[in-house]
């Protein structure tokens, strides 16, 4: 009789009960991670927008105008990132509120019940 290779399968060992793993218990958090998710994403959007749209204009200004002091360059880049982050947060907050208020007016085909 040949060797039984199925005993080496990890799934078979777990399902047969030969190996047991203790299941860790976690205490539910108060939601601090979720509260920080939107501002972090908005800050990321602000940085990306500043690097994508403002930085090339500033670099072209550096090249074509013969230079720009860093006292002017960095505040413009930082300010545009902060402004884009605040705008992204404001738009997202407004849209969330709008759709929370308007969700009940959607037709069935837009938000079908799970049994359809």
Is residue 78 domain-resident?
A: yes
What are 61's two structure tokens? Answer: 């200004």
Is residue 95 domain-resident?
A: yes
Is residue 76 domain-resident?
A: yes
Residue 3's contacts (CB-CB under 8 Å, 6 or more residues apart) are none
What's residue 100's pLDDT?
Answer: 85
pLDDT tens for 55-96 read: 999 999 999 988 889 999 999 999 999 999 999 999 999 998
The count of domains in the chain is 1
User: Under the phi-then-psi rule, with left for phi > 0, alpha for psi from -120 to 50, and beta for the rest, what region is 80?
Assistant: alpha
Is residue 14 domain-resident?
A: no
Confidence at 12, pLDDT banded by 50, 70, 90: low
Is residue 43 domain-resident?
A: yes
Three-state DSSP string of the chain: CCCCHHHHCHHHHHHHCCCCCCCCCCCCCCCHHHHHHHHHHHHHHHHHHHHHHHHHHHHHHHHHCCCCCHHHHHHHHHHHHHHHHHHHHHHHHHHHHHHHHHHHHCCCCCCCCCCC
Is residue 55 domain-resident?
A: yes
pLDDT tens for 23-48 read: 666 666 666 666 788 899 999 999 99
Domain that holds residue 91: 34-101
| Cβ count near 81 (within 10 Å) | 21
């Amino acid at each position: 009789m040949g060797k039984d290779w199925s005993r080496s399968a990890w799934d078979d060992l777990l399902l047969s009960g030969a190996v047991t793993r203790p299941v860790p218990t976690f205490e539910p958090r108060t939601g601090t991670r979720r509260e920080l998710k939107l501002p972090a994403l908005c800050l990321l959007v602000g940085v990306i927008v500043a690097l994508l749209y403002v930085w090339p204009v500033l670099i072209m200004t550096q090249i074509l105008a013969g230079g720009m002091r860093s006292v002017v360059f960095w505040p413009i880049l930082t300010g545009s990132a902060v402004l884009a982050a605040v705008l992204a947060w404001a738009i997202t907050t407004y849209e969330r509120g709008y759709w929370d208020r308007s969700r009940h007016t959607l037709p069935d085909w837009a938000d079908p019940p799970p049994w359809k």
